[in-house]
Amino acid sequence: MEKNKICFIVSDPVTAKVFLKTPFLKLSKYYDIYIAANLKSNPDFYLEGVKDVYHLPINRKISIIKDINCLIKATLFFKKNTFNAIHSITPKAGLIAMLGAYIARVPFRVHTFTGQVWANKTGVYKFLLKCIDKIIDSCATNTLVDGKSQRDYLISQNIISQKSEVLGLGSICGVDLERFKPSEKTRQSVRASLGFKKEDWVFMFLGRLNKEKGVLDLINAFDQINTNLNQKLVLVGHDEENIINQNKEIIKRNNITYIPFTDKPEEIIQACDTFCLPSYREGFGLSIIEASALSKPIICSDIYGLKDTIIDHETGVKHKAKNIKDLTEKLVFALENKELFKKMGVEGRKYVSEHFSDEIVLKEWVDFYKKLFE
């Protein structure tokens, strides 16, 4: 019997590698899986479970001429390959994919909302970005959102309807509990490589280093803590806005450690005692549930996108977004209540195991597509 064909559309193939690797493996047992993405910088891209990979010149930045050209190519591509479903992730890929699939009359058009670029914007630019999301939703036959609080927010902003869905309690791929499993051996090894002492309490941020992630707030809050409390701060991720160089005096004064890249978050996170995400905007905090799976207590902002990833004062604590004073107080609270925070970390792994394991989320993926094609 011939399998149904699903083509996933993303702007950057890295998005597929990070978020869709395990869903592809699971879905490929039942369907033929394809990817279309901008392969300009990664022409040999490959993922296990994917039948074929195609190039579509999708650019993240808005460019009317380039975007129209890409839309035409996408529409012709969809017509030629007669896919049963097109599934897009990220805003620009969603706009091109849902419009093109609508014109090409692809039977099932699915888009997953993973965060709103416009959430902290203002004026005409915000209006334009919101219109793009409305177009995506109107062209889609099915809309998914990667978190319940994000879905509520999008409904309140009149972007999507009540017919939209969340797979389980949220997350695109869930957490591999065997990969993200606490290991004292790994913890000691990584801490030793970073030069940390046993008594040091290590705070860590992992993600893209930019202002909207709250990294500057974290650096400034850490700078205000009494240096006699044996605290350390580690920043891990690509520095998108030259934050490290622009704040080199504070970083040097506080002996803050910067690690530009890791492809093994399950190892580097082991080194910390508290995981921090003081973000201004998130669709769903995957890094938080990964850290929680490693029994790390969380300090994060109180934005809507992180609401489902943490139980306040049970698996971590929240601070007011964009509030350095409140963030500083939460960092000090962790240093003064270490045993309490360790207990929060243990509860965090339980919470993730019950709601966000990849086993649970991947079953939701299969159930969604079985129901869709039936």
In tens, the pLDDT along 268-286 reads: 999 999 999 999 988 888 9
In tens, the pLDDT along 325-343 reads: 999 999 999 999 999 999 9
> Quick one: what percent of the chain has pLDDT higher than 70?
100
pLDDT of res. 349: 98
In order of their start, the domains of the chain are 5-174+358-373 (3.40.50.2000), 184-355 (3.40.50.2000)
Question: Is pLDDT of 115 > 90?
Answer: no
Per-residue pLDDT, averaged over 93-116, amounts to 95
Contact 298, 292 (CB under 8 A): yes
> Of 284, 238, 244, whose CA–CA distance to 89 is shortest?
284
Q: pLDDT band at residue 83, thresholds of 50, 70 and 90? A: very high
23 vs 49: CA distance, rounded Å: 9
Contacts of residue 133, defined as CB under 8 A and 6 or more positions apart, other chains included, come to 91, 94, 113, 116, 118, 154, 159
Per-residue pLDDT, averaged over 162-179, amounts to 92
pLDDT of res. 43: 85
pLDDT of res. 88: 97
251 vs 233: CA distance, rounded Å: 9
30 vs 154: CA distance, rounded Å: 31
> Of 3, 167, 14, 174, whose CA–CA distance to 90 is shortest?
14
Contact 307, 284 (CB under 8 A): no
Q: pLDDT band at residue 170, thresholds of 50, 70 and 90? A: confident
Q: pLDDT band at residue 116, thresholds of 50, 70 and 90? A: confident
pLDDT of res. 372: 95
Amino acid (1-letter code) at residue 48: E
Q: pLDDT band at residue 155, thresholds of 50, 70 and 90? A: very high
Question: Is pLDDT of 229 > 90?
Answer: no
Q: Is 127 exposed, middle or buried (0-12, 13-18, 19+ CB in 10 A)?
A: exposed
In tens, the pLDDT along 23-39 reads: 999 999 999 999 999 99
pLDDT of res. 363: 95
Amino acid (1-letter code) at residue 309: T
pLDDT of res. 323: 97
pLDDT of res. 213: 95
The SS3 assignment for 224 reads: coil
pLDDT of res. 122: 87
Per-residue pLDDT, averaged over 174-178, amounts to 94
Question: Is pLDDT of 172 > 80?
Answer: yes
Per-residue pLDDT, averaged over 167-186, amounts to 94
pTM for this one?
0.89
